[in-house]
Structure 1
Amino acid sequence: MSDLWRERLAAQSLHRPAPLGVPGLVGRLLAVQAQDVTAAALAFRVRSTGLTREDVEAAVRERSIVRAWGPRGTLHYMLPEDLGWLTSLSGPALARDAIRRIGQEGVAGSPETLLPAVVRALEGQGPLTKAELGERLSADGVPATGQAIVHLAALGAAHGLVVLGPGRRGGASGAGKPTYVHAADWLGAPVASSLDRDRSLAELARRYLRAHAPATPADLAAWSGLPLRDAWTGWRLIAGSLDELPGGGGRLRGTAPEAETGIETGAGTGGGAGTGGAPAPHAVRLLPAFDEYLLGWRTRSGVLADAHARAVHPGGGILRPTVLVDGVIRGTWSLNGPTLMVSPFEAERLPVQGEAEDVSRFLGRPVTPAVSRGEPFSGRGR
C-alpha cells in the first residue's frame, strides 16, 4: 500500500480509532452513503470495535443522525447540524434532477405547485411509507405512483422540507420500509444554513479533507457533485492552514488530531482499536457495498487493479462489498442468510474469519464464511 492510501485509510477511520459512537463517526466522515441501509450500517461496523446495528438504528430514531439526500444527490447519513449548509450546496442540482424525473414519471407541475402539496402530505403526519405518502399526494391532486413519489420527496429535500425517518418494520433485509417525514417536524426546526456560500464551501473542503486527505479539488468535486470551480473556491479558502504535499495539484493533508490517525498494528483478524504505527501486514477489513474507501476520490488507482474493476463495479450503479487486505482490494464478498461468501480475485486464501465473526456480532446473528466454490473458509489471518 502506498503512503498516499495509508494516510487515506486512517482518515477514513478504517484503522478503528478510539470509539466515537455513531454520531461521532458521522461527524468525523461528514456523510456516510446510505442509499442501502444495511450497507450503510456495515460502514459503521468496519470503522469501530463495539457498535451494533441497533446502535445505528437507535441514532436514527433519536435523531442524532439523519438520513437525507446529500452529496451527489445521493442518500447519506449526516448530522442534523450539518444538513442545512450541505443542502444549500447540493440542493439546487438535486432539485433540477428531481423535477426532470418527476416529469418523466408523468406528473405535471412546477416546484411552486408541487412543493406545497408535498408539505401538506407530510406536515404533522409523522414518518410515512412511500405508499402512504403517495395516497396523500393523490388525494391532494398530485397523482403520484412508483418512483414519482420518491422524486417528489427528493424535491422537497432539496428545499430543506423532507428527510427520511426510521425504517418501518417489514422492509427487505431487515432494514424496514423507507419512510419520509416533514423535516421541521422531525428535527424540531426548519432545515436552514447559517453560512453564506463561501463559508459553506470552506466548511465542505475542511470537513472533506478531514476524512479523505490527502486529496485534491478534483477529488472533492467528484465526491460532492459540485463543479470543480466550487471545489477550488473551498480549497483556496482553507489552504493557508493546511500542508500541501509535494508534487502540486493542490493535494492537501487534512487536520485530524494525532489521536485519530494511528493505524492498527495488531494481527489482521478484524478486531482491535488503532494504536499508532504502521498497519499490520495483511490487516483485513470487509468493506460494505458503496463504501467511502472506494467512492471518496476521483480515482481508485492504487487500491483496485484495473483487471478487477469490473468485478467490483459491474455497472448499473452497483458497487459490491469488497475484501480489503493491507489497504488493497483483493476480492468481493456477499451475505446470503448465514453464509458470508468470499470471492478472491486470485487463487489465495483471504484471512476473513475474524471479520466474519465481527459481522456476526454487529448484526446479532450467526455468520459463517465460505469461499466462492462453497468450501468452508477457515483463514483467520496472521
Structure 2
Amino acid sequence: MTGKPRHIGVAERRARLGLRHRLAPSARAARPEEVADALVALHGTDPATVYLAVGARLVDAGVTVAEVDRALYEDRTLVRMHGMRHTVFVFPTALAAVVHASTGLDIAAKARAGLVKDVATGSDGRLSEEWLTLVEESALAALARRGQATVNELTRDEPRLKEQFVYGAGKSYETPQTVSSRLMRVLGVEGRVVRGRPLGSWTSSQFRWAVAPPHPELPPAEARSELLGRWLIACGPATEADLKWWTGWKVTDVRRTLAAIGAVAVSLDDGVTAYVAAGDEEPVDGPAEPWAALLPGLDPTPMSRQERDWYLDPSLRPALFDGSGNVGPTVWWDGRVVGGWAQRPDGETVWRLLAPKGVGRDARTAITAEAERLQRWVGTTRVTPRFRTPLERELAAG
C-alpha cells in the first residue's frame, strides 16, 4: 500500500470482532469446526472453556457437548495440543503441523533440554539421558498398543515412569517430581502425544493421552506465515505487541513474517500502527444488529491480544482478571466487555454490569436471553473456572 495508511477506528474493530469471532447472531456457526477455524485456536487449559466458547458461537448451543466430543474424539477434526506460549489449545487438526513447526519446535527443544538436565541433576546421575530415551520409547509403544491411556495405566506397562527426581535441589522451590509428569508434557510439546478423552465429564481436567496423528514436517518460516496469515484474518488489525504476545515469537520473527505475507499497515485511533492481512484492507460493515454474549474464562476473544483497551476498560481488569493475567467469565455488549458472570452452586447463571454506560433496556434484555440460553444447554452440569477471578468468586457465592 502506498500513501497514508487506512485508518481503522474502534467501531470497525468491534464490528470485525462480532463477525469474525462468530459472536453476532447472524454470524453464528453450525459446527464446532467452523468456530475453531474462525478463531484459529481455542484455549484448552481449562477444559470447560472449549465447550463454553464453542457454545456461545453456535446457532444451536444445545448440541455443544455432543458435537465437540464428536469433533475431538470421534472424527478427530479438532485436536488438543500444546501451542503458542507453551499453552494447551484446541486447533483444527489440519493446523497441527503448522502450529508444531511455527511455535512448537523452539519450545520443545527447551523443554527437552530442561527435562534431561533436571532428571540427571535431581537423581545424582542415576537417571541418564540414555535411560530416559529407553523409558519414553517403551511408554510410546505402550500408548500405541492401548490407543488411549492415563498416566497410571501407562505406568503399569512401563514402571520406570514412576521414578522420582528432585527438582530445584537446594532451592527454596525444591520438590520431588515424577518422570511421568514431566515426560508426557515434553512429548506433548514435541507433537508426539496429544490429550485424549477426559476421565469424567466435559469439565474434567484429568485426560487420557494418545499418540499424535501423523503430520508433515513443515519449514518453520512457511508455517509461521500460514499461522500469522490466518490469525490476522481472525483478529486483525493487530499491533506487533499483540502478535508477539499471542505467538510467543521473537519480535524479529514477527516482523519477518509480516513482511513475508505482505501484511498491510493501518492506523488505529490512538495513532499506533497495526496490521491486517493482504486483501483485508477494505472497510467492514458491522453486524445488522447489536449483539450480546456471555464468554467463559480464557475465551479466545478477550485473550486474543495484549492491547485490550478498545474493548475492555482498564478499570474493569481488577474484577475480571486473576493475578496471572487470566481473564474470567465476561459479559459483552456490541463489541465491548460490560460485566461478568458466574454459575452458582444451584446452577443459576448470574451476571453483573460493571460498565453500564450505553447498556440500555434492549441490551439488558439481550444479555438476559444469552444467560438463559447458556443455562439451558449447560443444564445440571456445574462449571467452576480453573482460574478464578474476584467478580466470579463473588457472584458464585451469591
- Per the shorter chain, which TM-score range? 0.7 to 0.9
After superposition, the Cα gap between the structure-2 partners of 1:6 and 1:113, relative to the gap in structure 1 and judged at 3 Å, is farther
1:154 and 2:185 aligned:
yes
Map of 1:75 onto structure 2: 88
- Structure 2 gaps, min length 5: 1-9, 166-175, 383-391
Map of 1:289 onto structure 2: 297
Letter in 1 for 2:65: R
After superposition, the Cα gap between the structure-2 partners of 1:373 and 1:228, relative to the gap in structure 1 and judged at 3 Å, is closer
CA distance in 2, matches of 1:334, 1:297: 23
After superposition, the Cα gap between the structure-2 partners of 1:180 and 1:334, relative to the gap in structure 1 and judged at 3 Å, is same
Three-state SS of the structure 1 residue aligned to 2:337 is strand
Note the 1:112-191 alignment, pairs <5 A: 113-114=131-132, 116-121=134-139, 122-139=143-160, 142-143=163-164, 149-169=180-200, 174-175=203-204, 177-183=206-212, 187=213, 190-191=214-215
After superposition, the Cα gap between the structure-2 partners of 1:314 and 1:374, relative to the gap in structure 1 and judged at 3 Å, is closer
Cα drift, residue 134 of structure 1? 4.7
CA distance in 2, matches of 1:148, 1:9: 45
CA distance in 1, matches of 2:288, 2:205: 38
After superposition, the Cα gap between the structure-2 partners of 1:36 and 1:116, relative to the gap in structure 1 and judged at 3 Å, is farther
Three-state SS of the structure 2 residue aligned to 1:315 is coil
Map of 1:272 onto structure 2: none
Map of 1:61 onto structure 2: 73
1:30 and 2:48 aligned:
no
Letter in 2 for 1:70: G
Comparing 248-257 and 8-17, the one that deviates more = 248-257
Cα drift, residue 23 of structure 1? 1.6
Contact 2:85 2:248 in 1 (8 A): yes
- Structure 1 gaps, min length 5: 267-279, 377-382
Cα drift, residue 24 of structure 1? 2.3
Map of 1:228 onto structure 2: 251
Note the 1:301-380 alignment, pairs <5 A: 301-316=309-324, 318-337=326-345, 338-345=347-354, 350-351=364-365, 352-365=367-380
Contact 2:320 2:327 in 1 (8 A): yes
Three-state SS of the structure 2 residue aligned to 1:292 is coil
Moved over 6 A (4+): 101-105, 144-147, 255-258, 371-376
After superposition, the Cα gap between the structure-2 partners of 1:141 and 1:287, relative to the gap in structure 1 and judged at 3 Å, is closer
Q: TM-score, normalised by structure 1?
A: 0.78
Contact 2:136 2:183 in 1 (8 A): yes
Listed one character per residue, the Cα deviations across residues 199-219 of structure 1 (whole Å, up to 9, x for unaligned) are 111111101111111113321
Contact 2:331 2:340 in 1 (8 A): yes
After superposition, the Cα gap between the structure-2 partners of 1:22 and 1:304, relative to the gap in structure 1 and judged at 3 Å, is same
Contact 2:342 2:396 in 1 (8 A): no
CA distance in 2, matches of 1:249, 1:110: 51
Cα drift, residue 191 of structure 1? 3.7
Three-state SS of the structure 2 residue aligned to 1:319 is coil
Map of 1:211 onto structure 2: 234
Map of 1:265 onto structure 2: 288
Listed one character per residue, the Cα deviations across residues 69-88 of structure 1 (whole Å, up to 9, x for unaligned) are 11111111112221122112
Cα drift, residue 19 of structure 1? 2.7
Identical residues among aligned pairs (%): 22
Map of 1:96 onto structure 2: 110
Map of 2:24 onto structure 1: 15
Cα drift, residue 363 of structure 1? 2.5
Three-state SS of the structure 2 residue aligned to 1:220 is helix
CA distance in 2, matches of 1:167, 1:359: 22
CA distance in 1, matches of 2:328, 2:396: 19
Cα drift, residue 65 of structure 1? 0.6
CA distance in 2, matches of 1:295, 1:373: 22
Alignment coverage as a number of residue pairs? 346
Cα drift, residue 67 of structure 1? 0.5
Cα drift, residue 59 of structure 1? 0.8
Contact 1:95 1:154 in 2 (8 A): no
Map of 2:307 onto structure 1: 299
Listed one character per residue, the Cα deviations across residues 172-229 of structure 1 (whole Å, up to 9, x for unaligned) are x74363111111xxx3xx3442x31221111111011111111133212110111111
CA distance in 2, matches of 1:49, 1:336: 25
Contact 2:164 2:177 in 1 (8 A): no
Contact 1:164 1:181 in 2 (8 A): yes
Contact 1:70 1:90 in 2 (8 A): yes
Map of 1:270 onto structure 2: none
Contact 1:10 1:263 in 2 (8 A): yes
Over the residues paired in the alignment, what is the CA RMSD in angstroms? 3.4
Letter in 1 for 2:248: G
Comparing 66-75 and 355-364, the one that deviates more = 355-364
Three-state SS of the structure 2 residue aligned to 1:301 is coil
CA distance in 2, matches of 1:219, 1:115: 38
Listed one character per residue, the Cα deviations across residues 235-266 of structure 1 (whole Å, up to 9, x for unaligned) are 11112xx54323686522347999xx764434
Cα drift, residue 140 of structure 1? 5.2
Map of 1:252 onto structure 2: 275
Cα drift, residue 334 of structure 1? 1.3
Contact 2:162 2:178 in 1 (8 A): no
Letter in 2 for 1:237: A
